[in-house]
């Protein structure tokens, strides 16, 4: 039998588990996907640098400029959105279904008043 999770289930999970995730994220709270130089030889301590390398790779391929507008779907705590805005001067709108994560992103964004950032609790399914 296949378990089907609703959007409400996912929202509740991320709202509830935020502190657990924060217990093992890097100090910037930005762990996500990584880009490893050599996955076969990767060690646990290579994960955080691989996450940063992935951000750099995505940015290099993006063509973002100060005139760009980015929609960060599943923005979480806003770390990647803030990093993109810092690196490029672009405007970033982050959406996430977790109210806890959006509140975290909004709080963090207050530390960067010169950046063009906004965060909203929203579902990707409600985008028109």
What are the backbone dihedrals phi and psi of residue 94, each rounded to the nearest 5 degrees, phi first?
-110, 135
Domain contains 32: yes
Write out the residue range of the structural domain in which residue 86 sits: 7-121
Instruction: Give the Cβ contact number of residue 46 at 10 Å.
Output: 16
Residue 128 lies inside a defined structural domain of this protein: no
The span from the CA of 54 to the CA of 29, in Å, is 15
Give the pLDDT confidence of 98-110 residue by residue, as tens digits: 999 999 999 999 9
CATH number for the domain harbouring residue 28: 3.40.50.150
Q: What is the pLDDT of residues 66-121, one digit of tens each?
A: 999 999 999 999 999 999 999 999 999 999 999 999 999 999 999 999 999 999 99
pTM (two decimals): 0.82
Q: 112 near 86, Cβ under 8 Å?
A: yes
Task: List, in sequence order, every residue forming a beta bridge with 69; answer none if it has no partner.
Answer: 91
Distance CA 62, CA 113 (A): 24
Whether 58 is covered by a domain: the verdict is yes
């Amino acid at each position: 039998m296949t378990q089907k999770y609703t959007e409400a289930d996912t929202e509740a999970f991320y709202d509830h588990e935020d502190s657990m995730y924060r217990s093992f994220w890097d100090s910037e709270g930005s762990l996500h996907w990584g880009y490893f130089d050599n996955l076969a030889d990767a060690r646990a301590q290579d994960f955080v640098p691989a996450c940063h390398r992935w951000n750099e790779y995505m940015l290099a391929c993006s063509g973002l400029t100060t005139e760009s507008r980015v929609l960060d779907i599943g923005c979480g705590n806003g770390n990647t959105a803030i990093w993109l805005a810092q690196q490029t001067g672009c405007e970033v709108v982050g959406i996430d279904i977790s109210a806890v994560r959006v509140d975290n992103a909004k709080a963090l964004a207050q530390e960067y008043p010169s950046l063009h950032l906004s965060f909203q609790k929203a579902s990707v399914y409600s985008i028109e």
